[in-house]
Amino acid sequence: MATVKLWTDSDANQSPRVKAVFDDIRAVRGSDFINNFSRGLANDPATLERTWNSLKEVMIAPSALDPVTKELIYIAVSVSNGCGYCIHSHTAAARAKGMTEAQYGDLLAVVGMASSTNRIVTALGIPIDPEFEVVS
Amino acid sequence: MATVKLWTDSDANQSPRVKAVFDDIRAVRGSDFINNFSRGLANDPATLERTWNSLKEVMIAPSALDPVTKELIYIAVSVSNGCGYCIHSHTAAARAKGMTEAQYGDLLAVVGMASSTNRIVTALGIPIDPEFEVVS
Amino acid sequence: MATVKLWTDSDANQSPRVKAVFDDIRAVRGSDFINNFSRGLANDPATLERTWNSLKEVMIAPSALDPVTKELIYIAVSVSNGCGYCIHSHTAAARAKGMTEAQYGDLLAVVGMASSTNRIVTALGIPIDPEFEVVS
Amino acid sequence: MATVKLWTDSDANQSPRVKAVFDDIRAVRGSDFINNFSRGLANDPATLERTWNSLKEVMIAPSALDPVTKELIYIAVSVSNGCGYCIHSHTAAARAKGMTEAQYGDLLAVVGMASSTNRIVTALGIPIDPEFEVVS
Amino acid sequence: MATVKLWTDSDANQSPRVKAVFDDIRAVRGSDFINNFSRGLANDPATLERTWNSLKEVMIAPSALDPVTKELIYIAVSVSNGCGYCIHSHTAAARAKGMTEAQYGDLLAVVGMASSTNRIVTALGIPIDPEFEVVS
Amino acid sequence: MATVKLWTDSDANQSPRVKAVFDDIRAVRGSDFINNFSRGLANDPATLERTWNSLKEVMIAPSALDPVTKELIYIAVSVSNGCGYCIHSHTAAARAKGMTEAQYGDLLAVVGMASSTNRIVTALGIPIDPEFEVVS
């Protein structure tokens, strides 16, 4: 159970700020579906607006990385942060955007590999090689 | 300072198992450079071998994701786990493999976005939408 | 399901050490309610005692921060550590102590903001400005 | 060393978007100081703008929580995420905004307490008490 | 619900690589039981093989630490990473290998203690004492 | 640099509460050495006392696990939480108490293995097998 009320469409219709975001989500995504995260965020319209605007800018607007790659990174972070909801929603999004099962297998292999070496490096207190100290 | 000795090439020459891995790293990478992580892992030859074999299989062998994408995922995990050494080494690797600065900017934007929503979702205890409960 | 038995009041009545802590919790809180965490900790009376004594000292005794602020910090840490139980119990506690929904919205906004910048700063390996290197 | 160039003021003067943000930071904060985080973010003007706008909205605009409380929460999250730079910058900010040393001591005590119980609860797999399953 | 199909034994019988691993797990463990993790990993036979081979090498082969101690460390890491499944499976494994309830209580006490001091040390930015800068 | 002053012995001599803890640390450990963590904690005598008393109870008093095993668990948690200071101080402590280099190698292998499987399990959303749902 959530710590806040999940807003129904009728609830949203009572708040012009929330309704405007829900309408924009539906228009941008071309779907009537509003997920539970947005329905929970609706309790704080300022955070709902800021989050949705950032998501549009970062995840939806065309940029240097293609949509599937951005979803793979999103999943990798969500796994590392242990957010079950986020893992489920972005794994579904990645598949909807074209992620293949072979790519998904690769993602998990890299996440597992990195998680393992990250901790061993940290345990050993390995100093950064001068060769890596370069900027673009 | 590391918690273990970082093996020099002379040290490695005393241990056939370590020398074999260092030789293979040099052959596979086409470079004489052996990083501090491998020089620290050399204290435990079994872990050095297992780690290098996994890295070859996961990060170097051709697979469904291209090398830059795998490095982007590796960086995202290393950032989430707070491993400074890993961040530096894999950011350098990603650039060496062709990551552009625009792609790097995108990576950071997605990592920041996901980290923020991961925590807010967790705070709110958002239940998973049935729409996301699908498998391939 | 828990990894240990959750002690009922009858179980607690068999152990003078556990009973003494349960009695003190009820007296200090002015309520008959004992939560599942204490019922699980009862399996190790020493840890139950130490934890309850620390909670009384840190969270209940009057101190420089007011009770709601301490609960907000507790929630922020619990969210960052991904403890669903702790998030639920301390969000309920914060509300019981007077946290308003506007304050809760602020809490989530700050947690989201910090989580995002924490990771981007870590990715970039930003060196600490000398201006921040001051002690009280 | 950072993974990107830290922009000097001369660098910023070459980019209208970066210069506009630096100017706004100086105006809003009433200080000439631009920290290394902003100088690193300048490499990606879109992220610099989005981050600064969010910081103004979340941390600087008057809201339900006072400025010191928001800094305490920011520090708590930064500690949990292990961001040394963020800890230093926000501990300095909290002191500049009036955090007393007694409040700082309380903050650390709560962070330590929560970190400990978070992990023990997680280890035990404690089920959420129905009493905590309430929304506002 | 998992993000992938959990392979039944009939599914496994269709894939020689998966069947070979399942057969080896049964032979090595002397039990017909295959857990859900292996049934999920079966979707990516290369990761299933690599994971099982590493587990045999690290957790099952005789080594410098006894089996119960290795399970205690596994639980400590799983708790810190917030993996509920791993906590349950390795707590069950530890008990099956002989972990006593008193040892389990000790484990939780150390995990709680370390989690608390880890965060306070990080908050304070404590510099490493020269006395600790020694290698074997 | 720390965020607080590290107390010298002269500073401690000005505060009876701090001096009492420093004296007890020296008596219990049979050594004149006071580490930087205790010197930083001295700024908040209540937290210094509570931390030292818990450390004595959990890490020093004889219990079901031997001292080296408790240090191994402490290191595993410190690595997972990314506390460099704690890793260094407890790796030194483990060696001082008799940890062999082969045991240390085992520790790192288990930490790496668990970190990897923890994340893959989390990504896959593996449901807990009923076989693991048993309590002592």
- pLDDT for F81-131, tens place per residue? 999 999 999 999 999 999 999 999 999 999 999 999 999 999 999 999 999
Res. B58 pLDDT band, cuts 50 70 90: very high
Closest CB to B119 among C112, C117, C125: C112
Classify each residue of A2-19 as buried b or exposed e, where b means 16 or more C-beta atoms within 10 Å of its C-beta: bbbebbeeeebeebeebb
F21 min Cα distance to partner chain A (Å): 30
- To the nearest whole angstrom, how far is the Cα of C101 from the nearest Cα of chain F? 31
Contact C113 B112 (CB under 8 A): no
CA dihedral for F98, F104, F110, F115, sign (positive or negative): positive
Distance between CA E71 and CA E65 in Å, rounded? 10
Residue D99 · residue D72 · CB < 8 Å: yes
| C·D CB contacts under 8 A | 237
Q: Do F108 and B44 touch (CB under 8 A)?
A: yes
Residues of chain E positioned with their CB less than 8 A from the CB of A112 = 47, 51
Chain E: partners with 3+ C-beta pairs within 8 Å: A, B, C, D, F
Contacts of E116 in chain D (CB under 8 A): 112-113, 115-116
- Residue C85, judged by CB atoms within 10 A of its CB (0-12, 13-18, 19+), counts as buried
Domains contained in chain B, CATH given:
1-61 (1.20.1290.10), 64-124 (1.20.1290.10)
* Contact call for residues D52 and D21 (beta carbons, < 8 A): yes
Nearest Cβ partner of A89 from B3, B125, B132?
Answer: B132
Residue F53 and residue F21 in contact, taking contact as beta carbons nearer than 8 Å: no
- DSSP, residue by residue, chain C: --SSPPPPHHHHHT-HHHHHHHHHHHHHHTSS---HHHHHHTTSHHHHHHHHHHHIIIIIS--SS-HHHHHHHHHHHHHHHT-HHHHHHHHHHHHHTT--HHHHHHHHHHHHHHHHHHHHHHHHTPPPPGGG----
Q: Which residue has the higher pLDDT, F13 or C134?
A: F13
Calculate mean pLDDT across residues D51-77.
Answer: 98
Mean pLDDT on E94-106: 98
The tens place of each residue's pLDDT in chain C, 136 residues long, gives 899 999 999 999 999 999 999 999 999 999 999 999 999 999 999 999 999 999 999 999 999 999 999 999 999 999 999 999 999 999 999 999 999 999 999 999 999 999 999 999 999 999 999 999 877 6
Q: How far is A70 from chain C (nearest CA, A)?
A: 16
Please give the pLDDT value at position C136: 64
Write out pLDDT tens, residues D71-98: 999 999 999 999 999 999 999 999 999 9
Q: Are F1 and C133 spatial neighbours (Cβ–Cβ below 8 Å)?
A: yes
D33: nearest CA partner in chain C: C131
Return residues 19-78 of C near D (CB < 8 Å): 33, 35-37, 40-41, 47, 51, 54-55, 57-59, 63-65, 69-70, 72-74, 76-78
- Give the pLDDT confidence score for residue C37 in this predicted structure: 98
Cβ neighbours of C82 in E, within 8 Å: 82
How would residue F135 be classed by pLDDT, with cut points 50, 70 and 90? confident
* A123 Cα to chain C: minimum distance (Å): 18
What Rg do the C-alpha atoms of chain D give, in angstroms? 19
Token pair 């060496």: residue: B96
Q: What angle do CA A79, D84, D59 make, to 5 degrees?
A: 85
Contact present, A4 and A43 (Cβ < 8 Å): yes
Q: Do A86 and B125 touch (CB under 8 A)?
A: no
Say if CB C16 and CB D100 are below 8 A apart. no
Q: Indicate yes or no: CB of F36 within 8 angstroms of CB of E129.
A: yes
**Closest-approach residue (CA) in chain D for A58:** D47
The pair of structure tokens assigned to E31 is 């039990």
| Residue contacts between D and F (CB atoms, under 8 Å) | 21
Report how far Cα E33 is from the mean position of its chain's Cα atoms: 17
CA distance F112 to F110: 5
Complex ipTM: 0.97
Query: If pLDDT is split at 50, 70 and 90, which confidence band does D136 have?
Result: low
Q: Is the CB of residue B2 less than 8 Å away from at least one CB of chain C? A: no
Give chain F as a DSSP string.
--SSPPPPHHHHHT-HHHHHHHHHHHHHHTSS---HHHHHHTTSHHHHHHHHHHHIIIIIS--SS-HHHHHHHHHHHHHHTT-HHHHHHHHHHHHHTT--HHHHHHHHHHHHHHHHHHHHHHHHTPPPPGGG----
**In Å, how far are C5, C15, F132 from C1, measured between CA atoms?**
9, 23, 10
pLDDT tens by residue, F78-94: 999 999 999 999 999 99
Which residues in chain C have their CB less than 8 angstroms from residue E87's CB?
Answer: 3
Note whether A112 contacts E: Cβ–Cβ < 8 A. Answer: yes
Distance CA A45, CA C102 (A): 11
E50-71 confidence digits (pLDDT tens): 999 999 999 999 999 999 999 9
On whether any CB of chain F is under 8 Å from the CB of B89, the answer is: no
pLDDT at B136: 63
**With an 8 Å Cβ cutoff, are A101 and E43 in contact?**
yes
- Distance, C-alpha A5 to centroid of its chain: 22
- Taking CA atoms, F72 is separated from A119, D113, F79, F81, in Å, by 14, 22, 11, 14
- Checking if the pLDDT of F136 tops 70, the result is no
Residue in B44, B50, B122 to test binding to F, most F beta-carbons within 10 Å:
B44
**Cα–Cα separations (whole angstroms), residue E116 to A86, C54, D120:** 27, 12, 11
Cα atoms in the Cβ-side hemisphere of radius 13 Å centred on B126: 29
Q: How confident is the model at residue E136 (pLDDT cuts 50, 70, 90)?
A: low
Is any Cβ of chain B less than 8 angstroms from the Cβ of C127?
no
Whether pLDDT at E133 is above 90: no
- Contact call for B73 and A76, based on CB within 8 A: yes
Tell me whether residues D82 and B82 touch, CB distance under 8 A. yes
Q: Which of A48, B117, D70 is nearest to C107 (CA)?
A: D70
pLDDT per position as a tens digit, A49-102: 999 999 999 999 999 999 999 999 999 999 999 999 999 999 999 999 999 999
CB E111, CB F77: distance < 8 Å:
yes
Q: What's the rounded Cα separation, in Å, for the pair B32 and B38?
A: 13
What CA–CA distance (Å, rounded) separates B33 from C22? 62
Q: Which chains touch C (3 or more CB pairs under 8 A)?
A: A, B, D, E, F
The CA distance from B130 to B124, in Å, is 18
Tokens of B96: 């060496």
For residue B93 the two structure tokens come to 């690797």
Share of chain F above pLDDT 90, in %: 96
For residue range B71-113, what is the model confidence (pLDDT) as tens digits? 999 999 999 999 999 999 999 999 999 999 999 999 999 999 9
